[in-house]
Amino acid sequence: MAREVEKKAVFDTDSAKEVVKELRASFVAGKTKSYEWRVAQLKALLKMTEENEPQIAAALRDDLSKPELESYIYEIAMLKNSCRLALKEMKRWIMPEKAKTSLTTFPSSAEIVSEPLGVVLVISAWNYPFLLSLDPVVGAIAAGNAVVLKPSEIAPATASLLAKLVANYLDSSCIKVVEGAVSETSALLEKKWDKIFYTGNGRVARIVMAAAAKHLTPVVLELGGKSPVIVDSGINLQVATRRIIAGKWGCNNGQACISPDYIITTKDYAPKLLDSFKRELEQFYGKNPLESKDLSRIVNSNHFARLSKLLDEDKVSGKIVHGGERDKNNLKIAPTILLDVPLDSLIMNEEIFGPLLPIIMVDKVEDSFDVINSSGTKPLAAYLFTNKEKLKEKFVATVSAGGLVVNDTTVHLAEHTLPFGGVGDSGMGAYHGKFSFDAFSHKKAVLYRGFACDAFVRYPPYTRRKLRLLQALLGGSLLSIIRALLGWS
Amino acid sequence: MDKVMIDLETDLKVMRECCRSGKTKELSWRRSQLKGLQTFLKENEVEIFRALRDDLGKHYVEAFRDEVGLIKKSLNLALKDLQKWMSSREAKLPIFALLSHAELVPEPLGLVLVISPWNFPLALSLEPLLGAIAAGNAVVLKPSELAPACSSLLFNTLPNYLDNETIKVIEGGPAVGEQLLFKKWDKIFFTGSARVGRIVMSAAAKHLTPVTLELGGKCPAVLDSLSWSWDKEVAVNRIIGAKYGSCAGQACVSVDYLLVEKAFSSAVVELMKVLIKKMYGDNPRESQSVGRIVNKRHFLRLKNLLTDKMVKDSIVYGGSMDEDSLFIEPTILVDPPRESTIMTEEIFGPLLPIITLDKIEDSIDFINARPKPLAIYAFTKNETFRRRMVSQTSSGAVVFNDAIIQYAADTIPFGGIGESGIGNYHGKFSFDTFSHYKAVARRSFLTDFWFRFPPWNNYKLELFETAYNYDYFGMLLIILGLKRSRRRFDRRVVKSVEWKRLENLRLTKADDSQLQIGINNGSSSSKYSNDYCLLGIVWKGKKIYREAMIKMLGNLWITKGELTAKEIGENKYFFSFSDKEDFDRIKAGRPCCFDRNLVVLKEFDMDSMEPKEVNFKHEELWIHVIGLPIKLMERETAKVIGNTTDWFITVDGDGGDLKGKYTRIRVLIDLTKPLKRGIMIHMDDGHIKWISFHYERLAKFCFRCGIHEQSCNQPCLDENGTEVQKQYGAFLIASQRRKAVEIKFEGHGQSQWKNSDVHS
């Protein structure tokens, strides 16, 4: 804490100003625009990750008791992947895109040039503190921006490791890490950025966007939401259960933005589903899940208290049908399933972000779409397990969410050909793969014209004949142009 | 007003309900609404022209060119391509996601608000409106109250052609606008000034509503010193058209100021005067071809721009104003002070400041010193200058040799950056602006990689790594148990004191890497073993690619326990074995060759030795002693012969075993000395016999001087300084090894393959 206090005294608006000034100078000098710089930085980032895998895993263990394998799969390997992909594809991404031109502007050629936005700010979250910090940075670098990264103070070990590593491996005149909490973030937000990329919750997102509005800064907001899982009957129950467990408890013990938040299933099927959960959970995490090394802990006591409150609410506490064990000292909560919780309870009205999984029961599986849509908010992801084609089509057509997955959970995150991002309350803008590059690029329209063929109709004095010609020109029909020129129409 | 707002509240509720019912998502609904817009334009052309004349004094040709015609064009395109736009886009997936299927499905955002400005009251209302309809949204349109005739036309007539449940036009001033901004929208599309843009975005932040802001900015035109008079004339024509011809300069895309070289400026001004006269006649006020200023407030604002004496003095053409008819003559100013308001604010009127520069290349700095404009127009034939203009400036668009025309092109996005806006539209981009691309992944229940699920172990980790790298073959090998885990995570590795010591050993930071060979089958040693360590060096070889080397050795050595390899310097490696058996076997298996380079391995005691102290000059080898009489094939002879090399170690076999084609002895040789080809022995009967040596697993050596080296580049010299001819050759390489030994050596590994229990 002492270190924190000291920092606060040091990093204020002026320091933020200095940081931005330095980075802007580097950007204006054109340093970040060169292809070589981008490649060198991405390679350095890759090397940094490769060489420090044990340290990264150790930091994540300190912050979240994250199992090493989870750290590796969901953070380290994913980041390495996006670095590699960017290195491989960047040449293609930065190529101007040729655009067709129409008769209206004939003769001309046009292209869409991707240009870096400038100096961008990335504010990341604590649940995947490594990946969510550096994955946007990969996109920002690939697009040629100077970057300030503000990792979450709630994952302090990772934050300070990031600060150290980034300073050692990357070009510090263009890429900087600023550690800190609310006051540092506010100081940063006061400055003018060319893009703000925020991952976190809706409350802070509103503050970020309002701050961005002052400078007309575009924002990407990656938020969360209550991502539902609909389970239909007549499916391969074991596979479905395993996939839900992998997405819920296997992703940082439910503390992930795309984790399944609640399950909707039919009244008849719920008992079967519950049995299957009990069986598989024991197989994965043993008889005493609080001891399991394969489960993350709750990040801090605030969140622990929040989750406890959700469980202790009167109308909810009786609904626990599996788990419910808590270990306050080690901040551990066992995988907990609640059956038939009322829709007006706390747990059903805020994002759970923890190892609690309520099951909602409906009469017909088709009713579940109404349950999702009537909440009025759009989740980041929605999942459906079914074998019925009709139901799948209806699901895709009626449920609005950042991403939909049929018969699995969370896998869309790993696909770089799919944009990852929310809609409505779950955020705006998307990234991953080329979408990351696009998120940090400005698509500049460039139109080339010669001096030949200057249509006199464009200029005053205006006459009726010019009107007719224009009508023909904008109509795009060659025949009518000729007719208008000949004065036949 | 309150009643209006209460109505609005209920209206919005109905609209949301309609959205939810999926009505607006239907292709037929979208089509019918777009067709309705088409009919609206067709049937009301005269009224539209009249309204535009009343509001802005726009000539009907200009009105058609900039508004009606463009919208018609956009509608045609949208109707033609709508189905294509609406269809979902397949996303490529790797084989890894076997039996999966992914696509991007565009879906409407929901309920959107379009706020349009007064300068192109029709085009800038209907262009976003048609995009929102094409994307399947319910829309509220608020046209500007500053163009009242158009606003009321839209309010009164447009609803006759559209579905009133889902598309609404709301008339009103800033108060109504503010009320609207309080509501929750799924998108706000705003065209107007940066000041209001900020207000809109702040309001949107409350509901996390995405915004598209189409703002303006000072769009510069850069006119290079064109030499041909035709080019010059065309360029100036286009600049004049873009300045005075588009609603009297009251357009976000019109030219704001002009940059020319000093030497060229007077010619430009003269040409402009001529061409302005040609277009607008001697008395532009009388001509119907120039628009008027929208209202008194703006008229006064423009008038104020010219009040500064320095600015006033810079007027070289025009400058006359008529407050009653809100008319301002096309005006040219040369070099007004750069800090004057006319050069810091968006002009939005028929005043054209010309700034003269020493060199036209200076224009890039001039532009970069100001906020990012919506467009840059550069008239030049200089290819390098063009490239610089594209890469070194930033703006919504760059147009070469023309102006404003980018607005009509629907294949490129139209929108600003920085102060000139957020987001873009036109053509398909309009559709995208009002759509959310939903990622949809579908899977079957059939394939499931068991390694996705806890409990976690290193085997699963390895599988994930190959899967992420799309290394399908590697994955297959691992699953079949044919490839061993190369890595593992063990916190003990990080924490152990030995590790710290090792860190200090690093010679070059850049090449530092750690790879571990061998699987952790649960019974591995509990601590990072320092008992069994080897240091290896690639003897006088070229630099060897680290990964290849470690991989190769890993495959060769197939260890039972763990093997850690670590590069500690150029061609220098540190190996540590957790299992003594492995260690002994590898030690006994020396020499180790890699790509015919000798890898000298030395035992290393971490507690007492420094890597530098290790002497790599010697290595143990097996020698075949050939030509020995049978009776001499015994231990003692072998020892004597062995000692003629550097150091005799042992002889292979015992007693009768020794009698064979050759005697196999293990010796230590000095690598810096030439290889011994053999020795002469004096037999008991007095004659001399040549006994030749063949070396097992001989690495590359110089055929001239016989020294272990990649190749001697210089001519090899002997002790007397004379050049040595080829004295050695491949004959020194032992042709085959004894079979028994081979089984003993490789057999160990073979059994490992079978025993390896990778399916943990």
User: In this structure, are residues A82 and A416 in contact, taking their beta carbons and an 8 Å threshold?
Assistant: yes
Cα(B357)–Cα(B369) distance, rounded to whole angstroms? Answer: 14
Q: What is the pLDDT of residue A5?
A: 43
The residue type of A204 is V
Sorted by sequence, the CB contacts under 8 Å of residue B67 that are 6+ apart come out as B48, B52, B120, B122, B123
Q: Which of these, B203, B242, B205, B207, lies nearest to B222 by C-alpha position?
A: B242
For residue B278, the distance in angstroms to the closest alpha carbon of chain A comes to 8
From-to residues of CATH 3.40.605.10 in chain A: 13-223+432-443
Least confident of A39-48, A105-114, A277-286, B296-305: A105-114
Cα(B412)–Cα(A112) distance, rounded to whole angstroms? Answer: 7
User: In this structure, are residues B625 and B663 in contact, taking their beta carbons and an 8 Å threshold?
Assistant: yes
Distance of CA A258 to the CA centre of its chain: 9
For residue A190, the distance in angstroms to the closest alpha carbon of chain B comes to 14
Sign of CA dihedral A469, A471, A473, A479: negative
Neighbouring CB atoms inside 10 A of B525's CB total 14
B65 touches chain A (CB under 8 A): yes
Whether pLDDT at A154 is above 90: yes
For residue A98, the distance in angstroms to the closest alpha carbon of chain B comes to 9
Question: Which token pair is A162?
Answer: 């990031």
Question: Which token pair is A53?
Answer: 């895998």
CATH 3.40.50.300: does it fit domain B3-214? no
Q: Which of these, A405, A388, A309, A317, lies nearest to A358 by C-alpha position?
A: A317
B742 given a catalytic annotation: no
Let me know if B707 is exposed, middle or buried by CB neighbors in 10 A (0-12, 13-18, 19+): middle
CB contacts of B22 in chain A (<8 Å) are 397-398
User: In this structure, are residues B211 and B187 in contact, taking their beta carbons and an 8 Å threshold?
Assistant: yes
Segment B600-625 mean pLDDT: 75
CB contacts of A58 in chain B (<8 Å) are 491, 494
Least confident of A56-70, A119-133, A255-269, B647-661: B647-661
CATH number of A13-223+432-443: 3.40.605.10
CB contacts of A105 in chain B (<8 Å) are 402, 405-406, 408-409
A447 → closest Cβ in B399, B436, B491: B399
B106 touches chain A (CB under 8 A): no
Cβ distance A475 to B73 less than 8 Å, yes or no, reads yes
Quote the DSSP letter at residue A489.
-
pTM to 2 decimal places: 0.76
For residue A121, the distance in angstroms to the closest alpha carbon of chain B comes to 15
Cβ distance B61 to A470 less than 8 Å, yes or no, reads yes
The residue type of B724 is V
B442 → closest Cβ in A240, A392, A450: A392
Element (H, E) at B140: strand B138-142
Cβ distance B201 to A411 less than 8 Å, yes or no, reads no
CB contacts of A403 in chain B (<8 Å) are 438-441
For B517, list phi and psi in degrees, rounded to 5. -115, 140
Whether pLDDT at A268 is above 50: yes
Residue B328 β-bridge partners:
B321
Cβ distance B409 to A445 less than 8 Å, yes or no, reads yes
Cβ distance B401 to A246 less than 8 Å, yes or no, reads no
B439 → closest Cβ in A207, A236, A419: A419
For residue B445, the distance in angstroms to the closest alpha carbon of chain A comes to 7
Cα(B215)–Cα(B256) distance, rounded to whole angstroms? Answer: 14
Cβ distance B491 to A250 less than 8 Å, yes or no, reads no
Superfamily of domain B526-615+737-747: RRM (RNA recognition motif) domain (3.30.70.330)
CATH number of B220-410: 3.40.309.10
Rg (CA), chain A: 27
B227 touches chain A (CB under 8 A): no
Residue B260 β-bridge partners:
B223, B356
Cα(B278)–Cα(B266) distance, rounded to whole angstroms? Answer: 19
Cβ distance B448 to A33 less than 8 Å, yes or no, reads no
Cβ distance B439 to A470 less than 8 Å, yes or no, reads no
pLDDT band for position B21 (50/70/90)?
A: confident
Angle between helices A131-142 and A156-169 (to 10 degrees): 30
Cα(A158)–Cα(A390) distance, rounded to whole angstroms? Answer: 46
Whether pLDDT at B516 is above 50: no
A55 → closest Cβ in B62, B436, B494: B494
A333 three-class SS: strand
Quote the DSSP letter at residue A60.
H
| Mean residue pLDDT across chain B | 79
For residue B62, the distance in angstroms to the closest alpha carbon of chain A comes to 8
For A46, list phi and psi in degrees, rounded to 5. -65, -45
Domain boundaries, chain B: 3-214, 220-410, 452-503, 526-615+737-747, 618-728
Q: Do domains B3-214 and B526-615+737-747 have the same CATH topology?
A: no
To test the contact with chain A by mutation, choose from B71, B213, B424, B438 the residue with the greatest count of A C-beta atoms within 10 A, namely B438
Cβ distance B69 to A471 less than 8 Å, yes or no, reads yes
CA dihedral B205, A418, A162, A20 (to 10 degrees): -40
Element (H, E) at B587: helix B580-588
Q: Which residues, numbered 594 to 653 in chain B, qualify as contacts with chain A under a Cβ-Cβ cut-off of 8 Å? A: none
User: In this structure, are residues A97 and A111 in contact, taking their beta carbons and an 8 Å threshold?
Assistant: yes
Least confident of B453-457, B513-517, B571-575, B622-626: B513-517
**Per annotation, catalytic residue among B62, B67, B214, B567:** B214
For residue B20, the distance in angstroms to the closest alpha carbon of chain A comes to 8
B382 touches chain A (CB under 8 A): no
pLDDT in tens, B181-190: 999 999 999 9
Q: What is the pLDDT of residue B102?
A: 85
Measured between its terminal Cα atoms, the distance across chain B in Å is 74
The residue type of B637 is T
Q: Which of these, A460, A475, A452, A464, lies nearest to B242 by C-alpha position?
A: A460
Cβ distance B208 to A205 less than 8 Å, yes or no, reads yes
To test the contact with chain A by mutation, choose from B64, B411, B426, B490 the residue with the greatest count of A C-beta atoms within 10 A, namely B411
Question: Which token pair is B553?
Answer: 């050795």
B287 touches chain A (CB under 8 A): yes
Cβ distance B279 to A461 less than 8 Å, yes or no, reads yes
Quote the DSSP letter at residue A401.
-
Q: What is the pLDDT of residue A175?
A: 95
CB contacts of A285 in chain B (<8 Å) are 454-455
**Per annotation, catalytic residue among A179, A222, A280, A351:** A222
B205 → closest Cβ in A206, A236, A239: A206
Q: Which residues, numbered 6 to 25 in chain B, qualify as contacts with chain A under a Cβ-Cβ cut-off of 8 Å? A: 20, 22, 25
Cβ distance B448 to A243 less than 8 Å, yes or no, reads yes
For residue A73, the distance in angstroms to the closest alpha carbon of chain B comes to 7
| Residue for token pair 């507690």 | B607
Cβ distance A402 to B439 less than 8 Å, yes or no, reads yes
**Per annotation, catalytic residue among B18, B219, B252, B705:** B252
Angle between helices B45-56 and B27-43 (to 10 degrees): 70
pLDDT in tens, A198-252: 999 999 999 999 999 999 999 999 998 899 999 999 898 988 998 999 899 988 8
B515 touches chain A (CB under 8 A): no
Query: Hey, which of A92-106, A146-160, B534-548, B659-673 has the most confident mean pLDDT?
Result: A146-160
Neighbouring CB atoms inside 10 A of A229's CB total 26
How far, in Å, are A39, A86, A142, B452 from residue A43 at the CA level?
A: 6, 10, 11, 28
Whether pLDDT at B226 is above 90: no
CATH number of A228-425: 3.40.309.10
A22 given a catalytic annotation: no
Cβ distance A102 to B410 less than 8 Å, yes or no, reads yes
Cα(B694)–Cα(B676) distance, rounded to whole angstroms? Answer: 9
Element (H, E) at B344: helix B341-344
Whether pLDDT at B758 is above 50: no
How far, in Å, are A106, B155, B267 from residue B233 at the CA level?
A: 19, 43, 11
Cα(A451)–Cα(B228) distance, rounded to whole angstroms? Answer: 10
Distance of CA B390 to the CA centre of its chain: 20
- Tell me whether strands A356-362 and A146-150 are parallel, antiparallel or unpaired: unpaired
Whether pLDDT at B316 is above 70: yes
Least confident of A95-104, B12-21, B163-172, B252-261: A95-104
CB contacts of A249 in chain B (<8 Å) are 454
User: In this structure, are residues A407 and B442 in contact, taking their beta carbons and an 8 Å threshold?
Assistant: yes
Whether pLDDT at A104 is above 70: no
Sorted by sequence, the CB contacts under 8 Å of residue A111 that are 6+ apart come out as A96, A97, A98, A99, A446, B412
Ranges of H-type helices in A156-269: 156-169, 182-190, 202-214, 237-248
A-B C-beta contacts closer than 8 Å:
328
Question: Which token pair is A204?
Answer: 């802070």
Q: Which of these, B83, B164, B65, B73, lies nearest to B431 by C-alpha position?
A: B83
Sorted by sequence, the CB contacts under 8 Å of residue B486 that are 6+ apart come out as B462, B515, B516, B517, B551, B554
Q: What is the largest CA-CA distance in chain A?
A: 90
The percentage of chain B sitting over the pLDDT mark of 70, rounded to a whole number, equals 76
Q: Which residues, numbered 181 to 200 in chain B, qualify as contacts with chain A under a Cβ-Cβ cut-off of 8 Å? A: 186, 194, 197-198
Let me know if B679 is exposed, middle or buried by CB neighbors in 10 A (0-12, 13-18, 19+): middle
Cβ distance A54 to B109 less than 8 Å, yes or no, reads no
The reply to whether omega before B715 is within 30° of 0 (cis) is no
pLDDT band for position A95 (50/70/90)?
A: very high
pLDDT in tens, B682-737: 766 667 777 778 887 777 777 666 676 655 555 666 555 566 666 677 777 776 55
Cα(B731)–Cα(A399) distance, rounded to whole angstroms? Answer: 78
Neighbouring CB atoms inside 10 A of B459's CB total 21
For residue B553, the distance in angstroms to the closest alpha carbon of chain A comes to 21
Q: What is the pLDDT of residue B79?
A: 94
